[in-house]
Amino acid sequence: MQNEIRVRFAPSPTGYLHVGGLRTALYNFLYARKTGGKFLLRIEDTDRNRYVEGAIENLISALQLCGIDYDEGPEKEGEVGPYLQSARTEIYQKYIKILLEKDAAYHCFCSSEDLDKMRQQQKEQGLDPRYDGRCRKLSQQEVEKRIAAGESYVIREKTPETGEITFYDIVRDKVTIPWETVDDQILMKSDGFPTYHLANVIDDHLMKITHVIRGEEWLSSVPKHLFLYQALSWKPPKLAHLPLLLNEDKSKLSKRQNDVAVEDYLQKGYLPEALINFIALLGWHPAKDKEIYSLEELKKEFSLKRISKAGAVFNVEKLDWMNGQYLRNLSLDRIAEAAKPFFAEAGLDTSNTEKYKKVIDLVRGRVHTLQQIPNAAIVFYQQPQLDAAKQEVADKESSQQVYKFWLEKLPNLDIDSSKQINTAIKEISQETGVKGKNLYMPLRVALYGDFHGPEIPELIQILGKDETLARVEKLLK
RNA sequence: GUCCCGUUCGUCUAGUGGUAAGGACUCAGGAUUUUCAUUCCUGCAACAGGGGUUCGACUCCCCUACGGGACGCCA
């Protein structure tokens, strides 16, 4: 068990699950499943200003919907909990003390205003905005005095001022960063809560995390983290920084340009199966040239070594195609179930299960999202409205003739037999002399309300004999 | 601005010194379909640029350009 792989997804509860976060969670999850390791969920809720009611539940349910379950986490306590950072503050206090003792951290009494001013000045002078270390050299006595006087303070990391650090990343290989460009990061805020950097390192260690798989935006803070591991004499985990998910213009995927919440995509009618498949292939590629992967298959195929380095544009067109694939190939029951909320939203009644399933089966191959299904299905629940062009077709003499013959023949047909229906159509053609477009268009207009659409027998089989007769009759002059 | 990371068809990508640079989405054309959708076939389309190294570079090294990320008492 010593060598068991342990990974984690550590989101902050900002209200929704970001698709980038979903991918990070997915890769962690897949790696754990592939290797027989453990996947933990840890909530990074150390910023009480950003706390959002219900966000944690939301996060968990979004993961669940996508088939990602965790082995340890909130509501699933393991041995290294609690899994909410807000419940771990004493732990951080303890290690801050150690860091202070080891001279790896120091008190800083600069106020936010001081810092803002400092950065402003640095900017004006064309310097890089970073902490100038003015509290770094405060004497022990002075620190104690100012604390006693009730001054508010933060704890900063005392990173080296010279030299450089080199570390290995599974995705990027060797990365070297000069220490002089690494800021004295705040580890503990004046409210006593840790920042990400502190909490993250401590928790990863205490939770025995072996691999940190996270977004590339963290790559430049790695030295700050490694410094802490070193100061505490801890062995750092292996690192894998994932390429970013991008907008069309190649900037980091953002709300301004895209839907970013998993729930947005679900609400738009993308199946979780499709979303997962799509996102898995954004920044990772299996050894084979295959595109459609179930979660089970991904668990078998996944490998950190095949993660790519460059950012990936979130291309909705391909998602649409992929969702279409899932719409067609998943079981009818699954799709029927998934489409229900969309019917409810459209005010369509699904209580006639037999009819509902027939409708879904007919329509699912013609759309790309669940959301488009009700619109394509509505004619099976309501009389189609004909616009002028369609009415004109219905009014044509040849159409009227076709309708007349239909009303005669239909009552005697077994409509479950597509063959009988097709035969009848041929007979009508012979009897009326109408054929091709003029034969089929009026029928489709009458039954479906459009020039283009499903085949006539399928339409009749869903509508039933009575409704079919009624719709044709209605157009007869 | 500084540091870091990146760069193969429009997009997602395969490729690891010798390939006609492969697949997928999109798009175009065709076949099937009474129509539409589906499906199938065909086609268009890429190694950012410049130097090296090498018998030989998409693959290795350097420089340039471009793109992105990080520089918060946010994560």
Nearest residue to nucleotide B70 when comparing alpha carbons to its C1'? A220
pLDDT of residue A413: 87
Confidence of residue A2 (pLDDT cuts 50, 70, 90): low
* A337 beta carbon to strand B: under 7 Å: no
Which of A31-45, A124-138, A259-273 is predicted with the least confidence, judged by mean pLDDT?
A124-138
Q: CA A291 – C1' B54 distance (Å)?
A: 38
Q: Does any strand B atom come closer than 7 Å to the Cβ of A352? A: no
Position A307 pLDDT exceeds 80: yes
pLDDT of residue A81: 84
Tell me if A74 sits within 8 A of A85, measured CB to CB.
no
- Res. A125: pLDDT tops 90: no
- Chain B: bases < 7 Å from a protein Cβ: 1-8, 10-15, 22-26, 33-39, 67-75
Q: Kindly report which listed range (A91-105, A117-131, A218-232) carries the lowest average pLDDT score.
A: A117-131
Reported confidence tier of residue A337, pLDDT bands at 50, 70, 90: very high
Q: What is the mean pLDDT of chain A?
A: 94
Q: How confident is the model at residue A48 (pLDDT cuts 50, 70, 90)?
A: confident
User: At residue A274, does pLDDT exceed 90?
Assistant: yes
Residue with minimal CA–C1' distance to B24 is: A291
In this complex, the answer to whether residue A218 has its CB under 7 A from any atom of chain B, a nucleic strand, is: yes
Res. A1: pLDDT tops 70: no
Write out the catalytic residue numbers of A: 255
The confidence band for A417, taking pLDDT boundaries of 50, 70 and 90, is confident
Pick the closest to residue A269 from A382, A358, A355, A374 (CA basis): A374
In the 23-42 segment of chain A, residues within 7 Å (Cβ) of strand B are none
Kindly give the interhelix angle for A353-363 and A332-345, rounded to the nearest 10 degrees: 100
**Angle value at C-alpha A455, between A321 and A355, nearest 5 degrees:** 85
Longest distance between any two alpha carbons in chain A, whole Å? 109
Instruction: Please state, for a pLDDT cut of 70, what percent of chain A lies above it.
Output: 100
Q: Taking residues A41-58, what's their average pLDDT?
A: 91
423-452 on A, CB < 7 Å from strand B: 436-437, 439-441, 444, 451-452
Distance between the alpha carbon (CA) of A180 and the C1' atom of B2, Å: 10
Q: Is the pLDDT of residue A308 over 80?
A: yes
What pLDDT, on the 0 to 100 scale, is given for residue A52?
85
Give the nucleotide nearest to A127 (CA→C1'): B1
For residue A322, pLDDT beyond 60: yes
Please give the ipTM for the structure prediction. 0.95
Does at least one atom of strand B sit less than 7 Å from the CB of A408? Answer: no
A172 touches strand B (CB under 7 A): yes
Pairing status of strand A312-313 against strand A154-157: unpaired
Would the Cβ of A120 be found within 7 angstroms of any atom in strand B? Answer: no
List CB contacts of A60: < 8 A, sequence separation 6 or more. A41, A73, A74, A75
A168 strand-pairing partners: A174
Q: How confident is the model at residue A339, as a pLDDT?
A: 97
Sign of the four-CA dihedral A86, A90, A92, A96: positive
Choose between A149 and A49: higher pLDDT.
A149
The yes-or-no verdict on residue A467 having pLDDT over 60 is yes
